Structure 1
């Protein structure tokens, strides 16, 4: 898929909404042209009426003057309205594309990037782009057009004043560039620090109980204060630039108008009428207004440029390899007994850190295989490889001869049922806990799945049945939550069931009940599970012991107990440690 950029997304949005874009251009041109009329009308009134003492046409000029002012206000209002509508459409498209990108990202992105950084780019940085469009680049373009229009009008009144005014432009442009560079650097630093603060706050919230239990509140607070102080200093730089720039512009404006009035009072060295001099002063005042606005708009633009760089960097991130667009679900489901093969499978999160090394296994339907090993040995990583969530570094994993990483995500639920140790509750009804909003899953399938795990009583506990809200109408226990998770996993009758430490944290009775349910629902399925405890294994289970990324032992639990001294000793040591 072609990498999108902020520029391409903005242009496509403007093209899609042509009527609003045309209306914006029309409003901008009208605002620029109408803004030149009042000073020229003022010149005519002074020269033709006030200087000559004549009232002829004065009322008409006054009416036109007022109508133009009303027209300027109305057009400016319409411009703001159109800008807001277009800005909202742009930010909606940016966030939609950013979220869509997240679902296509290569898994390595999530292991290398802090959570707060991504949140900041999708929420905060896209908001800055909206500010850029509505309060930055469009208004600055209008102000630039005003500058050119005013310059043209000043030259029309007096060539000499026009030349003097023209000389001021490079001076102002140079000052603007100096301030621009300083603001850009400070804005980029500020954006980066905002992302860091988001991450630190999220991390503190996630680990609040651990932090309190270990008395590390002060440590976390001091770490946050360091980042906060850097952010404050960065914002102080931004505010200094933003405050100083308009002050400098106002000083230049006062000097220019003062010089113009002095020149006229010293013998009219400019050789123009008093009406022209008043109009010129008005135009010069109007000239500095858009230039001053440009300074304020520069802050929004520089902030947005830094945000655009970060969004473009995010949108350019590597995406996961494309899945098979011609995948046929029946190519797996219609082959009868399932077969899951690991052929020389190796995996590394980083090149120099091998997690799994040349794993070779074959697992058939009806087999229940438990992967055992210490924390960090790669058990959960292996399950993610089977689910196709991570690509293997070397080798291949196939389900009925189909590479699992080529299976599109839309079909994976028909092939895999996955249950984690922590049941991810969603906000919704009992039905939605099972279906996850999939309209193809009927109520009959939901009831059948709940019956298999022994939870049909939940349906009758509330008058709402499957529409009962969790946890408002129903408050399932931890054991029941895991059973709901199993029902969610088996509702589409997938040939492979993956269990990751599902009994962790449960009491012995709940754990035994779940194991009994699993023995019932696991018939004819390939079942892969992860556990730390050798003593929890059943004699009829197939066991794969992982050690330093390799298969240390494999076989039936009963056979390993009888024939392998290392396995027996490991069980004895585990029992002693539990005592």
Structure 2
């Protein structure tokens, strides 16, 4: 999954030691799960816009009232006073101009406010995603994260830019019209208002259970998003094995399920809502007003001219209410979106450093470390491990033994649930992130490249690095020649005019780490996806990277780590064996069995075979300590 934002929060993990990014300069919205909470940074501007909209709604009624008064003047007995006519017409023109000016100002304020909120939310989400534990993503698919970052933030646009103004107009306009009509003739006013209770009752019935249905709608959309992401990301592999239809069927099923749900929800609502609209439609109201006005005039209860305001303004009662129904639907959608955004903004992140300390050296120690993803089931238990400065420590063991989880504790991608990991005698939880990543770097098995220049990708771990330093790191990582062949060299943009194979991207990741120059380095399966030619170049680049560093390696081929200073064998989240290659072979335990299975020969001091593609780590792969030979 890749989320492209202006912030690169989270991408420091592949930088081999880049400093943590600073929070956005603009004030971030308060975390929470409510729409009102998220709107807090722009609440003042929205209040001003609402006041302007109320004034605009009032001004919009004045021209209609002016027409009624002109009718009274023109149909009154005796000569017409031109001055009075011009005064009324002038008031109408001024009110109409004021209405457009106030309405335009209110819309401009809300649109600027929406732009501010969108920027704040996306920056805050990106920053939060960069601080949450990696395990947070394991419980959420790419489609769900994309929905929050893109779709849910966008869903709030209508509420901020339009809906609040529509609601103000829908409330103020009918109230003012009703007050005027009651003043003009309360009996005709009651007749004009008669369809509204029927409409309100019908809509109330339609809205029952709307919240639950919207939740189901959001879940169905999330499933479609996830199916699309999985289809795009997995189509190449599925096509290779002739299973492209499988990915298409998964997406088609998600789309069909959404269609079936949506039709079952909307079909009964369509019939009822159609009847509600007919009851308050302008032709219906017009016929009702004309019939009642004709009857009242015939009975002598009112004058013909007194029917004019009901013909002009009575038709305007339903319009705002119909708009309010659509706005209410979008408001509910936005509230559901705001809850999901709020959940991300409130996601638990790694605890901040309260009293920062600086490590004395690069001595790493795991003391009584335990870790569990869900707080109940432990993945690691009772881990005691020491990494002395300048030594190589290799982690081996079957898939699921906890090697990657243990390695992720050192760069503090997660915090242990028990025990402590220390660097230079200081608990990692007491070291500022910027300080920690000056000491600890990480090279993943799969390097993520940002959609920016190659030079900036390499300099991610040291943003102020000059062009000469970037090129020197690229040469050391054996990737300079490939970059030089690009259309714009180091100025080429990854994903546009620069496309790299997995092995090439891995060497860019190594260049990042070389430029960042961390004294402690974690290698997590760094050659897992490399072809033999790329692997040789990666191994050569790694040999330069690891010189003189404290190294923690996740090994997938025992031959590459046979010369490590210590090897820790994990199984079931515990270290079951520890020692040098020769000591573990002599012990005849699990490591010896793994070595024999790899063709290492039977007996202590067996000669390391040539690197084989066998994988003791199941689906995972890795790199050892280049330059170390078996005894």
Matched, 1:312 2:337: no
- The CA deviation at 1:556 is 1.2
Contact 2:557 2:613 (C-alpha < 8 Å) held by counterparts: no
Residue in 1 that maps onto 2:124: 97
Query: Cα offset for 1:452?
Result: 4.4
| 1:575 pairs with one of 571, 582, 599 | 599
- Displacement, 1:278? 1.3
For residue 152 of structure 1, the aligned residue among 150, 172, 179 is 179
* 1:340 matched to 2:367: no
Of the candidates 476, 488, 498, which is equivalent to residue 522 of structure 2? 498
Q: Which of 322, 327, 349 is 2:356 aligned to?
A: 327
SS at match of 2:370: strand
Deviation at 1:159, TM superposition (A): 2.3
Q: How many residues align?
A: 569
Q: Which deviates the most, 490-499 or 427-436?
A: 427-436
Q: 1:163 to 1:201 in 2, by over 3 A?
A: same
Corresponding residue number in structure 2 for 1:161: 188
In structure 2, the residue corresponding to 1:272 is in which secondary structure? coil
Alignment of 1:113 onto 2:140: yes
* Counterpart among 41, 47, 69 of residue 12 in structure 1: 41
Give the one of 69, 76, 91 matched to 1:44: 69
**RMSD over aligned Cα, in angstroms?**
3.3
What residue in structure 2 maps to residue 207 of structure 1? 234
What's the CA shift for 1:518?
A: 3.7
Using the alignment, how far apart are the partners of 1:149 and 1:241 within structure 2? 31
Q: Do the aligned partners of residues 565 and 245 (structure 1) sit closer, same or farther apart at CA in structure 2, a change above 3 Å counting?
A: closer
Picking from 30, 35, 56, the partner of 2:81 is 56
Task: Look up the match of 2:445.
Answer: 421
CA distance, structure 2, for counterparts of residue 341 and residue 437 of structure 1: 25
Deviations 1:19-67 (A, max 9, x none): x753x24531332222322332232232321354754338524565455
Q: Match of 1:354, SS?
A: coil
Instruction: Report matched runs for 1:174-253 at 5 Å.
Output: 174-181=201-208, 183-236=210-263, 237-238=265-266, 241=269, 245=273, 247-252=275-280
SS of aligned partner of 1:349: coil
Unaligned residue ranges in structure 1 (runs of 5+): none
**1:301 alignment partner in structure 2:** 331
**Superposition TM-score, scaled by structure 1 size:** 0.87
CA distance in 2, matches of 1:242, 1:140: 23
Does structure 1 retain, via aligned residues, the 8 Å contact 2:234–2:247? Answer: no
Q: Identify the match of residue 320 of structure 2 among 270, 273, 290.
A: 290
CA contact (8 A) 1:246 1:295 kept: no
Structure 2: how far apart are the matches of 1:190 and 1:373?
44
TM-aligned CA deviation for residue 89 of structure 1: 2.4
CA gap of 1:91–1:241, structure 2 versus 1, over 3 A, is farther
Residues in 2 aligned to 1:201 and 1:219: alpha-carbon distance in whole angstroms: 13
Q: Residues of 2 paired with 1:225 and 1:463: CA distance?
A: 40
Q: Which is further off, 131-140 or 208-217?
A: 208-217
Task: Judge conservation of contact 1:246–1:292 (CA < 8 Å) in 2.
Answer: no
SS at match of 1:127: helix
Provide closer, same or farther for how the CA distance between residues 205 and 83 of structure 1 changes in structure 2, counting only shifts above 3 A. Answer: same
1:354 to 362, 372, 378: 378
Equivalent-residue separation in structure 2 for 1:470 and 1:42 (angstroms): 65
1:142 partnered with 2:169: yes
Change (3 A) 1:460 1:146: closer
Whole-angstrom CA distance in 1 between matches of 2:501 and 2:193: 78
Instruction: Name the structure where helix makes up a greater proportion of residues.
Output: 1
Partner of 2:111: 84
Contact 2:394 2:567 in 1 (8 A): yes
Could you tell me how far apart the structure 2 residues matched to 1:80 and 1:242 are?
31
| 2:423 corresponds to which of 390, 399, 412 | 399
**CA–CA separation in structure 1 for the residues paired with 2:496 and 2:192:** 71
Partners of 2:295 and 2:484 in 1: how far apart? 98
Structure-2 separation of matches of 1:275 and 1:125: 52
Residues in 1 aligned to 2:57 and 2:507: alpha-carbon distance in whole angstroms = 68
Q: 1:125 deviation in Å?
A: 1.4
Give a deviation string over 1:286-343, Cα, whole Å, max 9, x none.
1122122212222222222222232233333323322x14424xx22xx34x211111
Q: 1:264 aligns with which of 273, 287, 293?
A: 293
2:31 maps to what in 1?
Answer: 3
Q: What is the distance in 1 between the residues matched to 2:374 and 2:131?
A: 20
Change (3 A) 1:160 1:482: closer
State the 1:183 CA deviation.
4.3
Corresponding residue for residue 132 of structure 1: 159
Structure having greater relative contact order (Cα 8 Å, sep ≥ 6): 2
| Alpha-carbon distance between aligned partners in 1 of 2:215 and 2:68, rounded to the nearest angstrom | 47
Change (3 A) 1:487 1:315: closer
Distance in 2 between residues matched to 1:409 and 1:66, nearest whole Å: 64
Deviation string 1:114-146 (CA, Å, 9 cap, x unpaired) is 221121122111211111223323212211100
* Structure 2 portions without partners, runs of 5+: 1-27, 601-611, 615-631
Aligned to 2:10: none
> Is the CA contact 1:242–1:295 (under 8 Å) kept in the aligned structure 2?
no
Aligned position for 1:33 = 58
Shift of 1:499: 0.8
CA contact (8 A) 1:242 1:299 kept: no
Q: Give 1:362 shift.
A: 0.9
